[in-house]
Amino acid sequence: MISLLFFIAGFLILGSIMGVFNFENYKGKYKDFNPPNSKQVIKAVVVLAVSIVFSIIQPIEIQRIDAGNVGLKIDRIGNEKGIPVARQVKGWVFYNSWTTDVVEYSIRQNHVSYKGFSVTTKGGFPITVSPSFNYALKPEKAADLYVNLLKGGNFSSLENNFLSTATILALNNASNKYTIDSIFNNKERYNMAVADELNKELVLYFIVTQINPGTIPPPELSQVIKAKTETIQRAQQAELDKITAQAEAETKIATAKGDSASLVIAAKAAAEAIKLKQSQLTPEYIEFIKWSLWDGKLPTTTLGSGTNVLLNR
What does the pLDDT read at residue 293? 57
pLDDT, tens digit (0-9, with 9 covering 90-100), for 162-193: 999 999 999 999 999 998 888 888 888 999 99
The burial of 22, by beta-carbon neighbours within 10 Å (0-12 exposed, 13-18 middle, 19 or more buried), is given as: exposed
19 pLDDT tier (thresholds 50, 70, 90): low
| Pairwise CA distance, residues 281 & 218, whole Å | 95
| pLDDT greater than 80 at residue 294 | no
Least confident interval from 85-89, 107-111, 220-224, 305-309: 305-309
pLDDT, tens digit (0-9, with 9 covering 90-100), for 70-93: 888 888 776 666 677 888 888 888
Q: How many whole angstroms from its chain centre is CA 40?
A: 77
Instruction: For residue 111, report the phi and psi dihedrals to the nearest 5 degrees.
Output: -105, 140
- Region of 78 on the Ramachandran plot (φ > 0 left; ψ -120 to 50 alpha; else beta): left
Number of Cβ within 10 Å of residue 101's Cβ equals 16
| pLDDT greater than 90 at residue 194 | yes
Q: Report the candidate in 205, 225, 206 with the shortest Cα–Cα distance to residue 215.
A: 225
260 pLDDT tier (thresholds 50, 70, 90): low
What does the pLDDT read at residue 201? 92
Buried b (16+ CB within 10 A) or exposed e, 161-179: ebbeebbbebbbbbbeebe
Q: Give this prediction's pTM.
A: 0.57
